[in-house]
Structure 1
Amino acid sequence: MKKETKILITGCTGFIGSKIINELLQYSNVKIIGIGRKEKINNDNIKYYSGDICDNHLLEKVFDENAPIDYVFHLAAIVHNNLKDAEYEDYYKINYLASKNLFEKAKSHNVKHVIFFSTVEVYENSRKDFNCLNEEVEVKPTSNYAKTKFLAEKSLEQLNIPYTILRLAPVYDRDFLLNISKRVSLLKNRIFVEITGYNFKYSLLACQNILKVTKEILKDNNSFIGVYNLADEKIYSQKDIINYIKSIEKKPALNIKVNLRVIEMILDMIEKIADTIFKNNIFKVSNLYKMKENRIYSVKKIREVGIKLKNHLVDV
């Protein structure tokens, strides 16, 4: 990195964004500009703008007041359920249109490199055809979240600007278990479910591995052009995940072992009931789907540029 490096981080008050900021503030030559939805934050070391990523005037102000910005880390998005009753139009507006506008601003303001934090959920419908999904697999997104994240990916690829797209596997940390608990539990970890007869495997992503990759990109951004899956080197079983969550939460929970056919029967029954009944319930239909199939993503491509994502459950 040069003498002073300016980094704009959208979604800077979210879990991943705040972790990245804490990591980058260790470097005295890094100046961070953040955009978030919170009215204010308790961090005097970053220049913070409170507002909506969809606000074009806000983006113009941020780029003009802080020129030249060297890097953009784009994390702001609607994920599956962080806006109640979100429709496709909401996802389209925030995840695609706002992202496209941000990328275009970055290009017009001569930003050196854009890092877009996407998701392995773009592979949703591709899992039926492949046991291990790499970046060359045809993408077939089905959910509103995945569709709009993929549209944003394509808009960035078409801009002729140096970029890195990171497709993140489900992210976890000791203080952030939500993404991984969906693979093994119901009712907020009150019931742990292990499917018998099948040894399902899952790719997950330790937050420390995200931090490692972002620092490597800043050291040598020219080596990281394109799309990369990010996941721990280790692949996990349901038992691995259950044991990890229990070791952290240390609270009473019911353990059940269920045959795959029983899970499928439950899904069939639920699908016959109006989906709206379960829309905002802690008993999520989608969580059951996450349990009943392998979700493995190749990290060969990121390994080929010299990055090994060695942090895993027992290290975190």
Structure 2
Amino acid sequence: MILVTGCTGYIGSRLCQRLLASNYKVRGLIRPSEKERAKSLIELGLLPFYGELTDPASLHNIEEDIDLVYHLTGIHSTYHNTYNLYVQGTNNLLQEFKRNPKISVVVASNSSVYSDTQALHIESSKPITNHPFGKITMEMEKSIMDFSENYTIFRIGEVYGEREANPFQACTKGITLIGDGMNYTSKIHIEDVINILIKCIKCFPKGIFNLCDDLPVHQLEFYKLVETLSKTKFIQLKTDMVISERIMLSIHGLRTLNIAMDNTLIKQTMDYEFIYPTYKEGLQFLYENQC
């Protein structure tokens, strides 16, 4: 049995669909407020477990018969809410597995743990960050490493792909980049994320891994290519925007960081060949098939 937290999220829902289509038994942790959102997954065979990571009493017996955990829950909110979910919520979940510290755990982390520099970050780089989300993430990672003997922590780059993560939606909605947009970032297409997560079942890669494509890119350059393909101008730069705590913890705040990651280790460890090795192939596919 596989447990997926964050099963109704962008990554989690697609992972569950793939797992269920391959006849895996999947239990999904579902917040009571998201019952309707989870309905389509339940119809596919997902076994629902209603509870909240921030409410330890609601997690009782969630570990029963579980062989593998995908811990994919995420949030961008206030510092208090984000800390409670990532750190306290993770600790609450791990407490339910305290009788089985050898359980295999795959965790969705992120690049905010790295320093805000132009250096290419590899997994052996010591996490150093002054970013509030980065500090929360580092504490969450430490909880995983202190608890589990079999953990995989994926520091996932900015995910793009179909539907709500399709950057071509900006063609009609527009997008605002804080600053000059020349911040390096590492992107990854959702299909590559799901493929690597699925591969963990038979090829479990213990340790910490950057999960991103081959080519870091400036945020502005990424969206400029979207503009070029779509023949639409939609980028706005806010060079003098005041960044509040809420914005800093949001995806917009994370886009102000200058973080580029190297993906050599995951490719070598899992012998994985990317479907979309760079953002250029990924955007071209989205434009031709979904935009």
Residue 53 of structure 1 is matched in structure 2 by 53
Q: Closer, same or farther in 2 for the Cα pair 1:143/1:226, shift >3 Å?
A: same
Structure 1 residues 135-284: aligned runs within 5 Å: 135-177=123-165, 188-189=173-174, 201-221=184-204, 224-237=205-218, 238-244=220-226, 247=229, 253-254=233-234, 263=239, 266-267=240-241, 270=242, 275=244, 279=246
> Taking CA–CA contacts closer than 8 Å with sequence separation of 6 or more, which of the two structures ends up with the larger relative contact order?
2
Query: For 1:33 and 1:220, how far apart are their aligned partners in 2?
Result: 21
Offset of residue 233 of structure 1: 1.8
Residue 96 of structure 1 is matched in structure 2 by 87
Query: For 1:104 and 1:112, how far apart are their aligned partners in 2?
Result: 12
Q: Closer, same or farther in 2 for the Cα pair 1:284/1:251, shift >3 Å?
A: farther
Q: Closer, same or farther in 2 for the Cα pair 1:132/1:57, shift >3 Å?
A: same
Deviation digits for residues 193-242 of structure 1, max 9, x if unmatched? Answer: 9959x7x6431011111111112111122xx0010010012333433433
Instruction: Give TM-score scaled by structure 2 length.
Output: 0.79
Unaligned segments of structure 1, at least 5 residues: 1-5
Paired residues of 2:103 and 2:148 also in contact (CA < 8 A): no
Offset of residue 177 of structure 1: 3.2
Q: Closer, same or farther in 2 for the Cα pair 1:189/1:95, shift >3 Å?
A: same
Aligned residue pair count: 272
Q: Closer, same or farther in 2 for the Cα pair 1:284/1:157, shift >3 Å?
A: closer
Look up the equivalent residue of 2:159 and give its one-letter code: V
Instruction: Give TM-score scaled by structure 1 length.
Output: 0.73
1:314 pairs, out of 256, 273, 284, with: 284
2:35 pairs, out of 33, 39, 49, with: 39
Offset of residue 299 of structure 1: 0.7
Residue 18 of structure 1 is matched in structure 2 by 13
Bigger Rg, structure 1 or 2: 1
Paired residues of 2:106 and 2:152 also in contact (CA < 8 A): yes
Look up the equivalent residue of 1:227 and give its one-letter code: I
Q: Closer, same or farther in 2 for the Cα pair 1:191/1:57, shift >3 Å?
A: closer
Q: Closer, same or farther in 2 for the Cα pair 1:217/1:188, shift >3 Å?
A: same
Offset of residue 18 of structure 1: 0.3
Q: Secondary structure at the match of 2:35?
A: coil
Query: For 2:262 and 2:116, how far apart are their aligned partners in 1?
Result: 12
Q: Secondary structure at the match of 1:220?
A: coil
Q: Secondary structure at the match of 2:272?
A: coil
Q: Secondary structure at the match of 1:136?
A: coil
Residue 303 of structure 1 is matched in structure 2 by 267
Deviation digits for residues 230-264 of structure 1, max 9, x if unmatched? Answer: 001233343343333675xx5954457x8xxx93x
Residue 74 of structure 1 is matched in structure 2 by 71
Paired residues of 1:78 and 1:91 also in contact (CA < 8 A): yes
Query: For 1:151 and 1:194, how far apart are their aligned partners in 2?
Result: 28
Paired residues of 1:206 and 1:313 also in contact (CA < 8 A): no
| Pairwise CA RMSD | 3.4
Query: For 2:152 and 2:175, how far apart are their aligned partners in 1?
Result: 39
Deviation digits for residues 83-115 of structure 1, max 9, x if unmatched? Answer: xxx2x3322221101102212323424663100
Query: What is the percentage of aligned positions where both structures have the same residue?
Result: 21
Q: Secondary structure at the match of 1:62?
A: coil
1:127 pairs, out of 116, 119, 131, with: 116
